Amino acid sequence: MESKNIMIVGVGGQGSLLASKLLGRLLLSQGYDVKVSEVHGMSQRGGSVVTYVRCGEAVHSPVIDKGEADIIVSFELLEAARWLEYLRPGGQIVTSTQQIDPMPVITGAAEYPTGLVDAMRNAGAKVDALGCLALAEKAGSSKAVNIVLMGRLSHCFDLPAAAWDAALEAVVPPKFLELNRRAFALGRDA
């Protein structure tokens, strides 16, 4: 059984917990052993957040360490760059191109770096960068960026579309299901 290490990174409050819930449920339904590690509490308040999703025959550590991630899914460009060291050589980055200034940039103590996508590619990563915010808004809500990213991520797995949809249905409230289905499809097909 193939094992995979997926990191979901972003800014606290962007909806990474729903994304990891979806992935966890999906992978469990496919017969994998799964561990998902989240961060709650203070770091959620607009800070850099990371969720680890691991699957395989038998998973021990709940976290992913430097050089171990097969895929990094990022809600924000700077965060993809911040966690790059966790990607294994030749690993895949799936990122939204959205940029959110961290406080040191807001206060002028630091600058938001430019050319990050190229820099990550030069470092050996495969980078799939997508304007997820616009796609989420097109689907009906700026909050659906997480599901747009999941749609995009679905290309990295050899799993049936029905399994993704079943996992989506299981984690999203019924009244938002159609919106999230649109978001998923927009991310997948963009």
Under the binding rule (CB under 8 A), the answer on residue 61 touching another protein is yes
Examine residue 165 and tell whether it contacts another protein (CB under 8 A). Answer: no
Question: Using CB under 8 A, which of 117, 120, 129, 172 touches another protein?
Answer: 120
What type of residue sits at position 122?
N
CB of 57 to another protein, least distance (A): 12
Question: Which CA distances in Å does 3 have to 10, 35, 55, 101, 190?
Answer: 23, 12, 5, 35, 27
Hey, how many other C-beta atoms are within 10 angstroms of the C-beta on 185?
18
Residue with tokens 């097909």, as numbered in its chain: 189
Residue of the chain from 7, 22, 94, 102 that contacts another protein (CB under 8 A) = 102
From 145, 94, 146, 147, select the one nearest 120 (Cα to Cα). Answer: 94
* Binding residue count for another protein, defined by CB under 8 A: 65
Residue with token string 């998923």: 184
101 vs 178 by CB, closer to another protein: 101
Binding stretches for another protein (CB under 8 A): 11-13, 24-25, 28, 33-48, 59-63, 65-69, 78-79, 81-82, 84-89, 100-113, 115-116, 119-120, 123-125, 133, 142
